[in-house]
Each structure stands twice: as structure tokens, then as C-alpha cells.
């Protein structure tokens, strides 16, 4: 396993870093020179959630989509991670170190490129914490709601619209 999966056709035009496709939602540093993998730009997150866009390719979601959720997200039936289209979900499961179970802890410190940028409370809480198990929540639609435990954090919720299925991803340990 090289850890660098083939790029699906619909993502060939996207920028890459280290052989991996840079998701549509991933912010770059102010000078544009560095992509901040694992970060979500607030405006991009808002656009994805409210316009039903895939967070990886940036295209409008179709009849089915996937929300990648942590174990703790299942409790609240929502996640701050916008949905992805099925082809991007298949790619992300192989390419994203978190989803593929190749990283066992969150980054201990924040990215130097983000110096001076406020980070979300839930990110502070997760720093250096052991990685939780991830699930693929297959959905037809979602509601955009405020996170019940973290007011001010927008999420995609499947509480009102039952998901098609919820599957655990490969174990991380």
C-alpha cells in the first residue's frame, strides 16, 4: 500500500498536494502556498452545507450522499463536516489519513500556517486526543442546524430525515 490512491476522473482537475486531491473545502494559507488539510474554512463550510455541495469536488450533491461522522457525532445525529458525493466518498476513504485509519492521533499543535487564526472550540478539544472511530452515514438529504452541544457551529443533521444506512469505517487501532 503506497497510501496514495489513484485520482478519480472527476477530481483530475483539482489541485493536489503530496499526491492527494485538495478538497474544495480545504483552506489555503493567505499567500495560497500551503493547503491546510483537516481544516474547514467557515465560509466554504457554510456554502457546502446550505447549497448542498460536495466538500471534496464542490459539485451539487445528487440523490445520495455520505456524511463522515465520528462516534460522538452519532449521539447528536449531526456533523460539522459537510457531505460528500459517493465517488468522492470512495476516494476520501482511501486518501484521507483519518478516514483510512492511518493516523491514530490528532495533530498535537496547530498548523504553523494558521498562526493568529482562531480555531473552533471542538478543534481545541480534539488536539492530541486519540482518534475516534469514523462512520459513513448514507443520506438522501439533511437539515442544516446549529450543533446542540456547540452553539454557533453549523452542522448537517440526519435527526429529522432518517439515513439510508450507517456503516463503521475500518477500525483505527
How far apart CA 141 and CA 161 sit, in angstroms, is 7
Residue whose CB is less far from Zn ion, 90 or 144: 90
Cell numbers at 20, concatenated: 492527494
CB of residue 88 to Zn ion, shortest distance in Å: 3
CB of residue 116 to Zn ion, shortest distance in Å: 31
- Does 54 contact Zn ion by CB under 5 A? yes
How far apart CA 154 and CA 147 sit, in angstroms, is 6
Residue whose CB is less far from Zn ion, 52 or 157: 52
Neighbours of 147 (CB within 10 A): 17
Stretch touching Zn ion by CB under 5 A, among 57-65, 117-125, 127-135, 156-164: 57-65
- Does 85 contact Zn ion by CB under 5 A? yes
Q: Which ranges in the chain belong to alpha helices (H)?
A: 42-51, 71-76, 86-95, 121-126
Residue among 156, 142, 120, 116 at smallest CA distance from 38: 120
Residue whose CB is less far from Zn ion, 50 or 117: 50
**Quick check: helix, strand or coil at residue 113?**
helix
Stretch touching Zn ion by CB under 5 A, among 43-51, 86-94, 123-131, 141-149: 86-94
Pick from 22, 57, 137, 139: which binds Zn ion (CB under 5 A)?
Answer: 57
Asked whether 89 and 99 are in contact (CB, 8 A), the reply is: no
CB of residue 25 to Zn ion, shortest distance in Å: 11
Pick from 22, 56, 99, 100: which binds Zn ion (CB under 5 A)?
Answer: 56
Q: Which residues are near Zn ion by CB under 5 A?
A: 54, 56-57, 85, 88
Amino acid at each position: 500500500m503506497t497510501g496514495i490512491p489513484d485520482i478519480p476522473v472527476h477530481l483530475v482537475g483539482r489541485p493536489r498536494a503530496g499526491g492527494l486531491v485538495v478538497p474544495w473545502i480545504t483552506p489555503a494559507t493567505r499567500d495560497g502556498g500551503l493547503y491546510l488539510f483537516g481544516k474547514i474554512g467557515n465560509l466554504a463550510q457554510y456554502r457546502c452545507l446550505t447549497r448542498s455541495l460536495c466538500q471534496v469536488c464542490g459539485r451539487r450533491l445528487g440523490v445520495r450522499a455520505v456524511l463522515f461522522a465520528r462516534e460522538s457525532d452519532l449521539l447528536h445525529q449531526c456533523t460539522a463536516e459537510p457531505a460528500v458525493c459517493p465517488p468522492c466518498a470512495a476516494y476520501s476513504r482511501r486518501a484521507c489519513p483519518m478516514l483510512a485509519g492511518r493516523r491514530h492521533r490528532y495533530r498535537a499543535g496547530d498548523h504553523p500556517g494558521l498562526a493568529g487564526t482562531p480555531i473552533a472550540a471542538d478543534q481545541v478539544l480534539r488536539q492530541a486526543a486519540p482518534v475516534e472511530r469514523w462512520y459513513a452515514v448514507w443520506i438522501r438529504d439533511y437539515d442544516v442546524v446549529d450543533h446542540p452541544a456547540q452553539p454557533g457551529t453549523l452542522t448537517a443533521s440526519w435527526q429529522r430525515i432518517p439515513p439510508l444506512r450507517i456503516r463503521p469505517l475500518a477500525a483505527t487501532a
